[in-house]
């Protein structure tokens, strides 16, 4: 039977509401996307805080989630203390903006059309600002993908991006930064 199920014959793409319901997804606080935790490694790591602080902290070796974004529920610009790998599953291709600590930036299209230059998987290094939305501006557009973090994600490692600060640091991407932020400055919202 080669892995096919009755559902795969004449298949249609599920709606975003069906995916949210299927995986009991909830909104990510402040960021805006929908998610469901899939995996948290039982293995814990002891990580150093940095040269100025000799105290270490503990994190799971890895974690992963399912995530879903739409034009109004986009993944707002944020950065993590972990590396994160995004994996495209279905729906509309994703505009993924990465703002690097060295002042450069990159817009990558995450999607399934690899012959048209889309990437099915993208690595985002720790400390890089990231934000994403479906490429399509349709109100029905959505993108369903997965994120794997290593070390594992913890909310205290999340830092929200603020529009004015990021636009000043990355002026060439000011318009897209405006579209991918929820708050103009710290304390707003």
Mean pLDDT of the chain: 90
Write b or e for each residue in 40-65: b if 16 or more Cβ atoms lie within 10 A of its Cβ, otherwise e.
eeeeeeeeeeeeeeeeeeebbebbbb
Q: Which residue has the higher pLDDT, 29 or 123?
A: 123
Provide the pLDDT confidence category of residue 168 given band limits of 50, 70 and 90.
very high
- 13-43+56-179, CATH topology level: Jelly Rolls (2.60.120)
pLDDT tens per residue across span 143-163: 999 999 999 999 989 999 999
Provide the pLDDT confidence category of residue 188 given band limits of 50, 70 and 90.
low
Are 41 and 63 in contact, with CB atoms under 8 Å apart?
A: yes
pLDDT tens per residue across span 71-90: 999 999 999 999 999 999 99
Q: Which tokens belong to 166?
A: 């990021």
Q: What is the pLDDT of residue 13?
A: 82
Are 28 and 35 in contact, with CB atoms under 8 Å apart?
A: yes
**Which residue's entry shows tokens 């039982």?**
42
Instruction: Give the C-alpha separation, 143 to 135, whole Å.
Output: 9
Q: Which tokens belong to 144?
A: 């369903």
């Amino acid at each position: 039977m080669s892995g096919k199920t009755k559902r795969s014959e004449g298949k249609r793409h599920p709606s975003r509401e069906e995916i949210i319901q299927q995986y009991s997804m909830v909104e990510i606080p402040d960021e805006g996307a929908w998610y469901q935790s899939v995996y948290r490694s039982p293995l814990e790591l002891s990580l150093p805080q940095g040269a100025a602080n000799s105290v270490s902290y503990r994190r799971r070796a890895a974690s992963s989630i399912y995530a879903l974004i739409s034009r109004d529920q986009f993944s707002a610009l944020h950065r993590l203390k972990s590396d994160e790998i995004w994996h495209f599953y279905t729906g509309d291709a994703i505009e993924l903006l990465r703002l690097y600590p060295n002042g450069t930036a990159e817009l990558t299209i995450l999607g399934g059309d690899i012959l048209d230059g889309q990437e099915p998987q993208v690595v985002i290094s720790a400390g890089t600002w990231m934000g994403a939305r479906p490429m399509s501006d349709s109100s029905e557009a959505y993108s369903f993908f997965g994120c794997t973090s290593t070390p594992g994600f913890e909310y205290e490692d999340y830092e929200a991006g603020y529009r004015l600060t990021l636009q000043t640091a990355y002026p060439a991407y000011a318009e897209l930064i405006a579209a991918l932020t929820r708050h103009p400055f710290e304390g707003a919202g």
